[in-house]
């Protein structure tokens, strides 16, 4: 089966799942569960999802963090391709959102406020004057409930969280469900579902930092990236979109044909200088709102290839510009600048203040759904 056919099959399976979601079986998380420590007085766990082809994800219900993601290289040798910590203590001390679920609003909301139906909502300004990744104690820093009844055929972990009305300034009681699945065709599928009892805004993603070569020991500049995106949303000095949707043609943000991440990253380009590298939202080429490929990354030495498929309209490509060697992660590796890249599927940053962008409003009676698939192969 081709990678595409496999993905389409997976998508059909994904659509078959409902929000309430679940056939009831007695076990969960094939591969096991072990204690990972205590947060806010609650014990949290590390779950292992493993398939028969050498792929394994370890995920904790603290922040829904993907702690490790093991994928074979071209010689069949397994390797961890995400950054993070060996233990919970690291995540509690400091983290640039390693592997976490990000919400209620992934990326930035300008001036830490937005209006909805004529009412203004004030948020925490945790990134200069702006809100980043949902505020001070957002979805990446809370303990999620594990739906132990959810046990489909493929190794999966279903997490739920109820975000209270007013939490981090956002209106509406929001019920969120995130389902991680390691598929038989070496993909990690992430499905998001949400409902709210009052109008609100919502933008969910996962913030994994990938290095397909060496778990973050060296920079990712030699990885070859393709983005299925002809436009991006230019930013200002605060990394807030200006509202323009600009063609990538003739700019270092043009990844419509595969090129090395490092090939143009130091170009004297206004947008790259503002972000100190790549840290932008690309507008995915699409018709309709189904699952489409947004990105492909190939790493020549390991032979690993990752594709990102999503139902979202945008993707944030971030080159770890703010990593600076001060974080020592798994196996004692000090993560230097550009030791990893993120490909965060999302709605566009600052959409609540930009009526011209696809809407992020969720109304009562609606169910928000979103699917992203990270699929792996070798070449
Ligand atoms: C943002 C970056 C930020 C990083 C870690 C990314 O999604 O675009 O600007 O530094 O997350 O917080």
Residue 80 near residue 70 (C-beta atoms within 8 A): yes
Nearest CA residue ID for atom 9, ligand 1: 279
* Ligand 1 pocket residue status of 276, Cβ below 6 Å: no
What are phi and psi for residue 295, nearest 5 degrees? -155, 155
- Ligand 1 pocket: which of 107, 109, 136 to mutate (most atoms within 8 A of CB): 107
Name the CATH architecture for the domain at 3-378: Distorted Sandwich (2.70)
56 is catalytic: no
Indicate which residue's Cα is closest to atom 4 of ligand 1. 96
> Which of 295, 271, 273, 275 minimizes the C-alpha distance to 283?
295
279 lines ligand 1 (CB under 6 A): yes
Half-sphere exposure for 46 (CA within 13 Å, toward CB):
15
DSSP run (H or E) holding 12: helix 3-16
Q: Which residues of the chain have pLDDT under 70?
A: 1-31
Residue among 133, 204, 240, 341 whose CB has most ligand 1 atoms within 8 A, to mutate: 133
Q: What's the pLDDT score for residue 271?
A: 98
Question: In the chain, where are the structural domains located?
Answer: 3-378
Q: Is the CB of 373 under 6 A from ligand 1?
A: no
Q: With CA atoms as reference, report the closest residue to 174 among 124, 134, 119.
A: 134
Report the alpha-carbon distance of residue 152 to residue 306 in Å, rounded. 25
pLDDT at 180: 98
pTM: 0.94
In this predicted model, what pLDDT tens digit does every residue of 112-138 receive, in sequence order? 999 999 999 999 999 999 999 999 999
Rounded distance between C-alpha atoms, residue 47 and residue 31, angstroms: 7
For residue 42, what pLDDT is reported?
Answer: 96
Annotated active-site residue 154? The verdict is no
CB 83 within 8 A of CB 209: yes
Residue 58 φ then ψ, to 5°: -115, 125
Per-position DSSP letters for 246-303, written without gaps between them = EE-TTSTT--SS-EETTSSTTS--HHHHHHTS-EEEEE---SSSS-EEEEEEE-TTT-
Q: What does the pLDDT read at residue 149?
A: 95
Q: What pLDDT, on the 0 to 100 scale, is given for residue 2?
A: 41
């Amino acid at each position: 089966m081709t990678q595409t056919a496999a993905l389409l099959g997976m998508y059909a399976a994904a659509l078959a799942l409902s929000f309430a979601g679940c056939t009831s079986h007695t076990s969960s998380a094939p591969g096991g569960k072990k204690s990972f420590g205590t947060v806010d007085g609650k014990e949290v766990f590390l779950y292992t999802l493993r398939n028969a082809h050498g792929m394994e994800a370890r995920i904790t219900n603290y922040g829904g963090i993907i702690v490790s993601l093991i994928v074979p290289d071209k010689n069949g040798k397994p390797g961890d391709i995400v950054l993070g910590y060996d233990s919970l203590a690291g995540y509690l001390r400091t983290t640039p959102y390693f592997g976490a679920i990000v919400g209620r609003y992934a990326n930035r909301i300008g001036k830490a406020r937005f209006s909805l139906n004529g009412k203004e909502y004030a948020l925490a300004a945790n990134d200069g004057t702006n809100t980043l990744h949902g505020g001070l104690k957002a979805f990446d820093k809370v303990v999620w409930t594990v739906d132990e009844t959810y046990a489909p055929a493929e190794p999966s972990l279903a997490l739920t969280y109820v975000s209270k009305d007013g939490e981090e300034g956002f209106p509406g009681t929001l019920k969120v469900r995130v389902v991680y699945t390691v598929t038989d065709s070496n993909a990690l599928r992430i499905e998001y579902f949400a409902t709210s009892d009052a109008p609100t805004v919502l933008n969910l993603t996962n913030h994994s930092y990938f290095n397909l070569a060496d778990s973050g020991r060296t920079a990712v500049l030699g990885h070859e990236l393709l983005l299925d995106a002809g436009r991006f949303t230019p930013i200002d000095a605060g990394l807030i979109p200006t509202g323009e949707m600009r063609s990538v043609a003739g700019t270092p943000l043009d990844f419509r044909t595969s090129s090395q991440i490092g090939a143009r990253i130091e170009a004297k380009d206004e947008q790259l200088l503002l972000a100190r590298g790549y840290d932008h939202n690309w507008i995915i080429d699409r018709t309709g709102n189904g699952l489409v490929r947004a990105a492909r990354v190939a790493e020549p030495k390991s032979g690993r290839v990752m594709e990102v498929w999503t139902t979202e309209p945008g993707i944030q490509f971030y080159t770890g510009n703010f990593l600076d060697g001060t974080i020592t992660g798994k196996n004692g590796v000090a993560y230097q600048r550009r030791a990893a890249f993120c490909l965060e599927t999302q709605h566009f940053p600052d959409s609540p203040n930009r009526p011209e962008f696809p809407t992020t409003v969720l109304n009562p009676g609606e169910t928000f759904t979103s699917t992203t698939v990270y699929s792996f192969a070798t070449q």
